[in-house]
Chains A and B, each alone.
Chain A
């Protein structure tokens, strides 16, 4: 049966805007990812792109739910919900068995526990860029790579060169000094991933490591990080091709649930 209730979730992140339209709370009709975050044209463009792919107009959408760092400045939202709740709902929809979700975004990293399909408790790294997407951006730039190339380099690593600094700025100079020793870049990338994994694993342990684990957020697209994290935690981690859209997905589900009067 064709969908008759459309809900839209928009995740206005610090560096990227993600939008997803859902039919009857289940079927993904369209989605868009625009690499421009809060305070830019990104959110508007993501919304337009998702609507046009779905061949719908704003009037066809029964509920718009905004989430993410820039959720409060997004105009026209019917509901505003934190990204922690939305990632929990989105991850649950993708992996109904998952109990713990790791979300590494552009500015922060979070470990989230899912209870009854919703956000249970959470631990955030809100102190610095280390262990976040920003850290990987900085490191990729130093290595003259695009972040999208990191996973591929990691897969070719023969060993892991440890990066001991816990601060992005110091880690950057540590990487530069390794580069000056002519080490293999692939090994260095594996080391960078391992250092992110160690930091993220500590968040998960603070929350309480309860498998099954899933990972959401843009950084989950990097198979090197997922591998390093899985090794560090000694657990399998499920990742969906839609990982970057988990927040928007959760937001769209939230909107549908609200319309249906569900909690």
Chain B
């Protein structure tokens, strides 16, 4: 067990700030990757270093010159870091237009942060039809060309295929880890689970895969779990707040699976390898992803997916981690809640925010919810 905790502590210690510094001092160029579903493999294929940007737990002040206060804290805090020069070492930042708030992020960044160029990323709304896939692929090809300019070298299809393989292996390792973490809540706390996944946004993917596989090997060798607390599946955009995850731990609540954009939604679906057109394979992956509020889902399959996740994982309930001021999530909540209610699975929604300092209300709600589950 000492081994396991040392390995997890190693991943918890990964700091994006340090990783950025390290890469730059090694003479590498770093590209910031904003949510959601940017073609990160292309950065890897270019020989540059991708760095995930999902905001930070901090107060945002300067960003309010560009965004009103009622825009989600992920965008506020990324912009804040940019304006304050904390991301000046980046050679570019990929910004998609996945939601109404993100649509203006590129323009806000251009005005507020002159030092780091924007690489706009577009994903087809009708992502599943052939024309939609073609559109997504064509946009990703534009991204490839922009990355080529920044890196100063051509990005070949071979390099892209290699990068896709690296990422697919990482996704596979994370899927296995997530499964084993769900089976061993006595060994992996919700904060540990999140830290293992989150580290991948800042580390070299091959290194991350190695670390995740080592942790999974330890988990696989453990005897059957003695955990007696409540088991939940989480859903939402982001669930990495240490204060929130500490509440789960304090109340003996295990996260046995998730439908979180920052977690499983990013590694549940692989990129099929299309030798003749690997970028089309990346568009195919986007078409396949289910259960995320920012990817067009007219039949709200998200609800069925979530019910199935909870049933398959033997969860006692579902906790919807609502990112404050996130309209795609708020719109999804109503129809998805109906489906969950119909399936008879207890559901709790708690609102969180990167700038939140007092979690007492959330604790209150989660504690009461867990009392109904036991």
Residues of A in contact with B (beta carbons under 8 Å apart): 69, 81-85, 108, 118-122, 124, 126
Q: How far apart are A9's CB and chain B's nearest CB, in angstroms?
A: 15
Q: Say whether B346 faces chain A, with CB atoms less than 8 Å apart.
A: yes
Q: Is B367 a contact partner of A126 (Cβ separation < 8 A)?
A: no
Q: How far apart are A247's CB and chain B's nearest CB, in angstroms?
A: 12
Q: Which 6 A-B pairs have the closest CB atoms?
A: A84-B368, A82-B368, A126-B361, A82-B367, A85-B371, A119-B372
Q: Is A121 a contact partner of B361 (Cβ separation < 8 A)?
A: no
Q: How large is the interface on B (under 10, 10 to 19, 20 to 34, 35 or more residues)?
A: 10 to 19
B residues less than 8 Å from A69 (CB atoms)? 360, 364
Select one of A81, A108, A118, A122 contacting B361, CB under 8 A: A108
CA distance A49 to B96 in the complex (A): 62
Q: Is B368 a contact partner of A122 (Cβ separation < 8 A)?
A: yes
> Could you say which of A69, A81, A84 has the most chain B C-beta atoms within 10 Å of its C-beta?
A84
CA distance A69 to B367 in the complex (A): 12
Q: Is A120 a contact partner of B372 (Cβ separation < 8 A)?
A: yes
B residues less than 8 Å from A84 (CB atoms)? 364-365, 368, 371
A residues less than 8 Å from B351 (CB atoms)? 126
Q: How far apart are A150's CB and chain B's nearest CB, in angstroms?
A: 26
B residues less than 8 Å from A119 (CB atoms)? 368, 371-372
Contact with A along B357-374 (1 / 0, CB 8 A): 000110011011001100
11 residue pairs from A and B, CB less than 8 Å apart: A81-B371, A82-B364, A82-B367, A83-B368, A85-B372, A120-B372, A122-B365, A126-B351, A126-B361, A126-B364, A126-B365
A residues less than 8 Å from B364 (CB atoms)? 69, 82-84, 124, 126
Q: How far apart are B298's CB and chain A's nearest CB, in angstroms?
A: 25
CA distance A81 to B367 in the complex (A): 8
CA distance A69 to B346 in the complex (A): 24
CA distance A81 to B365 in the complex (A): 12
A residues less than 8 Å from B365 (CB atoms)? 84, 122, 124, 126
Q: How far apart are A206's CB and chain B's nearest CB, in angstroms?
A: 10
Interface residues of B in 325-374 (CB under 8 A from A): 346, 351, 360-361, 364-365, 367-368, 371-372
Interface residues of B in 226-269 (CB under 8 A from A): none
Q: How far apart are A68's CB and chain B's nearest CB, in angstroms?
A: 10
Contact with A along B151-170 (1 / 0, CB 8 A): 00000000000000000000
Q: How far apart are B19's CB and chain A's nearest CB, in angstroms?
A: 36
B residues less than 8 Å from A121 (CB atoms)? 346, 372
CA distance A81 to B360 in the complex (A): 14
B residues less than 8 Å from A108 (CB atoms)? 361
Q: Across the two chains, which residue of chain B brings its CB closest to A85?
A: B371
> Could you say which of A82, A108, A118 has the most chain B C-beta atoms within 10 Å of its C-beta?
A82
CA distance A120 to B348 in the complex (A): 12
